[in-house]
Amino acid sequence: MHKLFMKLAHTFLARRVRRRPPRPLADLDLGGVRRVLLISATALGDTLFSTPAIRALKERFPAWELEVLAHRVFGALLAHNPHVDRIYTYPGRNRRLLTLARDLRLRAFDLVVILHGNDPEATLLAHLTGSPYIIGSAKSPLAFAYSATVSPADPYEHAIERRLNYVRLVGADTNDKRMDLFLPPGETDRAAAILTENFGAAPPVLMAFHPTGSDPYKWWPAASFVELGNFLYESYQAPLLIISGKGDREQAEAIAAKLAGPSLVTGGRFPLLTVAALLSHCRLLVANDSGPLHLGLALGVPSIGLLGADDPRRVGPYGVDWGIALHKREEVCALEPCLLKKCPRNICLEAIAVSEVIKLIQEWWKVRYLLEDSK
């Protein structure tokens, strides 16, 4: 079905482009721009990766109205972002796309930037806005419909830099590569009340795990999380916030059941921003390569990422000193290209020993983030 949809979109856009070719970006009068649409409608981490580019654009052009087409769930991460003027929700591949296309066209965007979106929908919607200028990835099969394209500078260019490259085309940039996440007033207090209700009192040293994620090939072994969790409780009397969704709640609860200390499994029971507020109370996050790792980094929570298939240079902690990653794929797996979701056994993550994570906690986290707080 996807291949058919892509073929139809390609044919449709090719005909439109023949009738009216995209205007070169060099013709854009930056002083005359009033409203810009930014498309960032995919996963949690992808949404946060886009925030430095959004900030850079707003700081360079404060008079521009920046409107974002975002994922129906993860768009909440931008709801209180002062650099975003309006948010549209991507409805998925269904009839509501036509309604969305109509609404976007009525906004008369001067420029559309596809920071990250799945094709063919992202390019179709960008083109259907009627904007004369579209910026997107040179790797898109529909890139012929763009005014300007961007190619990765190298295969290990970080996702944050890749998004900044799009706005650099119009003169926006930033030296601050931190991801932005703004919580609504009162959310951290609500989270504190949840923690008090669950643990009897707000824990002085609360830590967090994200032991699952979007696909099992990204998961560090559950037994390793259990061993690490018991070490943290024995060493720091730290209860655990275990972040999971509804779909992987069972796996998260199985880990919680084997822990010596108390825990709270989110399990899809709380809204996304409440989960973020709960995480903001944590002193340490240990997470697989998935959205909550980037959530912790955006909140300024000291975070250790356990990466397997992907490279930390591309998706790991970036531009901050409170994030660090463990990655051993190149040492233990010679299979190229990586099988990713088809991997029968993620030996790259099995190769990360609990003792290595503990050593990192003792030598990196304890000295910088625990002892400093006691001074």
Q: Is the pLDDT of residue 51 over 80?
A: yes
Helix H, strand E, coil C: the string for 142-164 is CHHHCCEEECCCCCCCCHHHHHH
Give the tens place of pLDDT for each residue, 66-123: 999 999 999 999 999 999 999 999 998 888 999 999 999 999 999 999 999 999 999 9
Mean pLDDT, residues 127-146:
96
Q: Which pLDDT does position 43 carry in this prediction?
A: 95
Q: Give domain status of residue 178, yes or no.
A: no
Q: Give domain status of residue 185, yes or no.
A: no
Give the tens place of pLDDT for each residue, 194-250: 999 999 988 889 999 999 988 888 999 999 999 999 999 999 999 999 999 999 999
Q: Which pLDDT does position 1 carry in this prediction?
A: 79
Kindly list the strands in the beta sheet with 323-327, ordered across the sheet, starting from the edge strand earlier in the chain.
Answer: 263-265, 240-242, 207-210, 284-288, 303-307, 323-327
Q: Which pLDDT does position 372 carry in this prediction?
A: 59
Q: Are residue 76 and residue 116 in the same domain, yes or no?
A: yes
Which is nearest to 57 in space by CA: 105, 113, 127?
113
Q: Are residue 254 and residue 297 in the same domain, yes or no?
A: yes
Q: Are residue 250 and residue 365 in the same domain, yes or no?
A: yes
Q: Which residue has the higher pLDDT, 45 or 153?
A: 45
Domain that residue 208 falls in = 191-374
Q: Give domain status of residue 235, yes or no.
A: yes
Q: Are residue 161 and residue 195 in the same domain, yes or no?
A: no
Q: Are residue 151 and residue 195 in the same domain, yes or no?
A: no
Domain C-terminal end among 168, 200, 232: 168
Q: Are residue 200 and residue 262 in the same domain, yes or no?
A: yes
Q: Are residue 19 and residue 147 in the same domain, yes or no?
A: yes
Mean pLDDT, residues 360-371:
87
> CA 92, CA 54: separation in Å to the nearest integer?
23
Q: Is the pLDDT of residue 154 over 70?
A: yes
Q: Give domain status of residue 177, yes or no.
A: no
**Total count of domains within the chain:** 2
Q: Give domain status of residue 176, yes or no.
A: no
Q: Are residue 226 and residue 367 in the same domain, yes or no?
A: yes
Per-residue pLDDT band for 152 (boundaries 50, 70, 90) equals confident
Q: Tell me the CB-side half-sphere exposure of residue 114, using CA atoms within 13 A.
A: 30
Mean pLDDT, residues 338-360:
89
Q: Is the pLDDT of residue 8 over 90?
A: yes
Q: Give domain status of residue 284, yes or no.
A: yes
Q: Are residue 203 and residue 321 in the same domain, yes or no?
A: yes
DSSP bridge pairs for 326: 306
Q: Give domain status of residue 174, yes or no.
A: no
Q: Is the pLDDT of residue 371 over 70?
A: no
The token pair that represents 6 in the structure block = 């892509």
Per-residue pLDDT band for 338 (boundaries 50, 70, 90) equals confident
Q: Are residue 23 and residue 130 in the same domain, yes or no?
A: yes
Per-residue pLDDT band for 373 (boundaries 50, 70, 90) equals low
Q: Are residue 140 and residue 227 in the same domain, yes or no?
A: no
Q: Which residues contact 239 (CB under 8 A, 6 or more apart)?
A: 199, 203, 206, 207, 233, 261, 262, 263, 264
Which is nearest to 99 in space by CA: 109, 112, 90?
90
Are the beta carbons of 244 and 270 closer than 8 angstroms? no
Q: What is the CATH number of the domain that holds 250?
A: 3.40.50.2000
Q: Is the pLDDT of residue 59 over 50?
A: yes
Q: Which of 43-47, 309-313, 332-336 shows the lowest mean pLDDT across its residues?
A: 332-336
Residue 25, classed as helix, strand or coil, is: helix
Q: Are residue 230 and residue 304 in the same domain, yes or no?
A: yes
Domain C-terminal end among 111, 133, 168: 168
Q: Which of 72-86, 122-136, 340-354 shows the lowest mean pLDDT across its residues?
A: 340-354
Q: Is the pLDDT of residue 375 over 50?
A: no
Q: Give domain status of residue 173, yes or no.
A: no
